[in-house]
Structure 1
Amino acid sequence: MTDHQAEQGGPVQGDAASDGSAALARALREMTEQHRRLEMIIDGTAMGTWEWNCQTGQMWVNERWAQIVGYTREELAPITPETFFRLVHPEDLARSNALLREHLEGRSPQYDSLCRMRHKQGHWIWVQDRGRVYEWDAHGQPLRMAGAHADVSDLQNALEDAADMRQRLQAVVDASDEVAVIATDTAGVINLFNTGAEKLLGFRADEVIGRVNPGLFHDVHEVQDFLRPLADADGRLPTVFEALTAHAAHGTWSHQWTFVRKDGEHRQVRLSISPLDSGTGQRMGYVGMAVDITPLLEVREQAFVAAEKFAGAFNSAALGMALVSLEGRWLDVNDALCGILGYTRAELLEIDFQTLTHPDDLNTDLALVGDLLASRRDHYHMDKRYLGKGGNVVWGRLSVSLVRAPHGEPLHFVSQIQDVTAQRLSGQQLRDSEQRTRVTLDAVADMVLTLDLQGQIQYANAAATRALAGEGATPLTGSQVQEVMELTTEYAPRSPLDLAVLMDPDSNAVDLHSDLLLSVGARLLPVDVTRAWLQDSSGQVSGAVWVIRDVTQQRARQREARHLAEVDPLTELSNRRGFEAHLQEAITRVARTGQSASLMFLDLDNFKPINDTHGHLAGDAMLWAVATVLRNGVRDSDVVARLGGDEFAVILAGCSLRRARRIASDLLEAVRNLSVPWSVDRLVVGTSIGIAAISGGMSVDAAVAAADAQCYRAKALGRNNVQVEAPVHGGPDPLDLGDGDLDIESSEGGPG
């Protein structure tokens, strides 16, 4: 370019370049902001997201996608469509695949599937999975697809519960053919007419649902008399529906009415109307329940004449007496019965005997009533419990007979009731106490034994009998405890405890053991044993109660908790806490046996640039690879630990410094030859290793400091080499096989 051209074109081109750079910077900032907002939106919705390369099958999911099914992304890796197929419920997989195929073939705008997926903990969750293809090739074939994945278990379960509830309610309504149930919307149009309503009114459900107002069923003259006082200032009368629902606007309202059947027959009914509101309080309609009381009114009319004849004897009797309808309602009661039950006469006439009968006695009473109605007996007697007004239980000796019409039709019952509460109370209290205790002990899962001081079993609950004698075995009462059970400890499972010592009130043998085992057949069951002492009337110890609890799961959880606390989650090696525990065990073992042991410290070289250049995922991959090399490079009995960051340690039990040096040299070479593929690069590291001897008298901190000092020395001498502390001269190492001197090897040829 000439000077003139530079003079003419330089500034223009410079301005254009500057403008282009500014535009590019703005575009990058906008893209970064859009990406940030998108991530915020996704995080805010708690949605799992996924991307799928339709051609290669490769998939990517965010962490939330894995969390929904209880995993991490690392646990699911590598993530492919097969991962999804493996987790989806077999009954849902074909439908989900069909929906996916329909979208991939362009026959649906998006893929939308509701399916069940197995959670890591074993249960099924409902997932709504949506996505669509966003990139197609020139031939119209799908290239890339993305979507979202949401946990909708709560919603799906609620929908299923609601459907079940609707079905159950409909079944209950249809089964109540002795009660007419009629429901309407807020405008009065019928939308429910059960079989009881069909039976009472003679109409079919399809004749009235969606077509008529329930006012159709009322007697016209009776309704006019009812509505006349409700006229407004202009003389306008409300409709039957308006008047009735006004009374029921804030709760159930009951009234006796005359209903007119389809065939013109009049029936007397007791009608109760209640409002129907949604869960949000919005009024949806009303429901009316009508009971045909025509037969009851006829019986009452007939009974009136008979009642007049024996009213004097009825009212003056010392026994409680009652006339009871065939449905169980009190038609009349005398003063004695009111005194027994604590109700007034008016209160008793509003309820039935079923309401006042103790639930445990009701079925027996109703069965005997059925025998009377079926003419299988003329009368019956029974002792039964009534529920008094004050919440008390009243025992009554009941005698019942049935009054029939001249043609044999049953009319009503006559009942005589004698209060026998006082006679029953003392004996029943004792029996109830014994029964409750026995049922309670048989219901618990713990084994319960009652023993005398000689070890003879006085009582064993169901759990103890099953565990110690087997299912269906005879009771253990009278057996010696030593004959039916054996206790050992996890520390000495082959050495049974002397159970006679456990019968000594002054012995704390049980309290000293937190690892008891109960021998059950061929297996040993982890248990806890609790003792309580029984005393006689003089205060002397006469026996004991043992409670033996199965703690298998508790101890398993304790072991699992210890494992989780002592394992590095990335490499699955021991963490620093686990390492220190193993190191203390190694020091103790050396002190006890005199056996050699060595401690190796490893610090990775050139690891930080991997994190800085390729990110922490790449660093994690390298740490996992190094952990695998270390794990495979030592014996199963050796302990490999990750102390944090890129620091590792190896406890070599029964290993001299010379042998530890050879192992370290092999590990040094293995790590140096390690190559981890990452994107288009291959990641490599080196390691500096320091070794120190473990002696019996040292502390954990002293052992760590000795090995760490040698590792620091290896770093200072150029890295990627092994340094071993000078041996303590005092005698031959029993594991020193004389295979070379103690010169330090270095992969870089540096001094040892």
Structure 2
Amino acid sequence: MTPQAALLDAQAALQAEAEERRRLEMIIDGTGMGSWEWNCRTDQMQVNERWAQIVGYTREELAPITADTFLQLAHPDDVAQSNALLREHLAGRSAQYESLCRMRHKDGRWIWVQDRGRVYECDAQGRPLRMAGAHADVSDLQNARQDAADTRQRLQAVVDASDEVAVIATDVHGVVNLFNSGAQKLLGYTPEEVIGRVNPGLFHDPHEMHDYLQPEADADGRVPTVFEALTARAATGTWSHQWTFVRKDGEHRQVRLSISPLNGGDGQRMGYVGMAVDLTPLLEVREQAHLAAEKFAGAFNSAALGMALVSLEGRWLDVNDALCGILGYTRAELLEIDFQTLTYPDDLDADLAMVQDLLAGRRDHYHMTKRYLGKGGHLVWGRLSVSLVRAPHGEPLHFVSQIQDITAQHQSGQQLRESAQRTRVTLDAVADMVLSLDLRGRIEYANAAASRALAGEGAASFTGSQIQDVVELTTEYAPRSPLELEVLLDPDSNAVDLHSDLLLSVGAHLLPVDLTRAWLRDDEGEINGAVWVIRDVTQQRARQREARHLAEVDPLTELTNRRGFEAHLQQAITRVARTGQSASLMFIDLDNFKPINDNHGHLAGDAMLWAVANALRHGVRDSDIVARLGGDEFAVILAGCSLRRARRIGTDLLHSLQVLTIPWDTTRLGVGASIGIAAIHGGTSVDAAVAAADAQCYRAKALGRNNVQVEDPVHGGPDPLDSPDDGGSE
């Protein structure tokens, strides 16, 4: 071959090689993948433009490109694994290098990259010389995988954590294959007792289901099974119904059961899932709430103060006659108006700010003086007290407002300036105590009512005296701790607003009072004194206590009801956290009580509940709180009582209930009890404390009833059942 021919062949070969390389690059570009070649000896890399685009750069921006370029872009948590996989391949222990890692995009986000490559050239000793591979952006795929995994985890967590919802799943034949902790709590069975062996028809009340299934019989008289009948209802979608479930221990619970079909990805029916919510406590609470509402309505309508129930949006939900008289509207007219419309514009922002503090939980109640627009256009000054009613789980429901007409008291300051003599005559005729003071606390005027109450009939005038020498104010919460009266003379202080339970010391007596302040100003508008109006609210406080009593006392047994019990339990938890003093919680569930109601009627049951309540009341200390939680369930909060002492008390109560009988017709009726006791720990929640004692009560029932079970000691701590009693803890 001539040199010229050889040169032509070489040029043709180079052209063919270039064409092949161009074709390969077009194929790679068409796949959207980034290609790379790595010289293992020099550490230099060649990449295509797509390789750089995947991470948001151009090749020029990344140049010079080496293995360090990859390490700088890779996520620090992924570098070690990627290097380990690369070493495995370079050592010949893997057919190719393949790594999934994160790389930082130019805009700062992390993208997922699938990196594959292999050695294609080695030296005579088999050591790698060159390696090539490709990058692919798999962020969408990886994110989709992560979303799917997160979804599976969330769904599994929901099922596992649904302690208040029973979740039971079956196959198409009715065999249970899922039984969560909520189902275990509701029905009393363990998953091992149910999964794979039990048809869910076992959980239904047989009498209720018999009546339900009879109309479903076919022409041959065959009655479908519970599973067949209920799943037929849910064949095309979710079906819900209220049923009676029977627990393993025989107790009946009212539930709302929703059944849904389960289909596979191919649309084939896989089974069914049922979700049951225990309605029993709700139904009991509704009944108790109905009774409490009737009693509250009586106190509400007969109150001398203006009272209103107000929606979260500000509309009047209900008003009493006193409020109608204060504002001059009829009840029907007020129910068509919101409180914002009747509030004097200059006072609205302050009122709404207080409302927001209530809703946000920054305060439990608030007091303020504000102006209302009466129906006739006249201005009404009111002393407003507002509290927020919340649902058991904390959701706001509505406001309760008390409005005292203080128009006369407010105008007293102006009347003083206009005509001192006329004001004195007027104020002497007022039953409220009225004092005028300067800002140093010197009494400049006292009306006749104040003189009689604070100095006695016929006593010398105490005008000119210091207020702290004449008046001592304290509170029902801390009756032995007098308030600092200097603070009450500070115009910027809200000390009065912080105390709705003021007491005035009159001789040896403490008189419930309300204190209203009005500020006196000089000609330049500067505050130079104050007028105090002290009102005797003995009857008002008595009515308020009666209203609270009606709301927190069980009407049948006259024990604390569940609402009052939860408030006392929260106080006990706070006291334990503050003092470290031990305390115990006892749950008592009567045994064999239902037959009394069934065989002798509810009057007999009520008589037995009254007798049990009386036995419990006399079986504990005066400082202990005895409550009826509903039905035949009772609880006792034992303040300052260790578990060891609580066991003795529980044993004594159990014996008292064992021997307790009441005469009824020609026989005597008796019951037993299952008692569970747990320690009250500081920092825990009311629900957690209740659950601990309730668990011991269930254990007592499971062990044959008519016994006392006490919570095991905290792991690693002293055993309160074995250690000697602390004399200061009981």
TM-score, normalization by structure 2: 0.40
Higher RCO by CA contacts (8 Å cutoff, separation 6 or greater): 2
TM-score, normalization by structure 1: 0.39
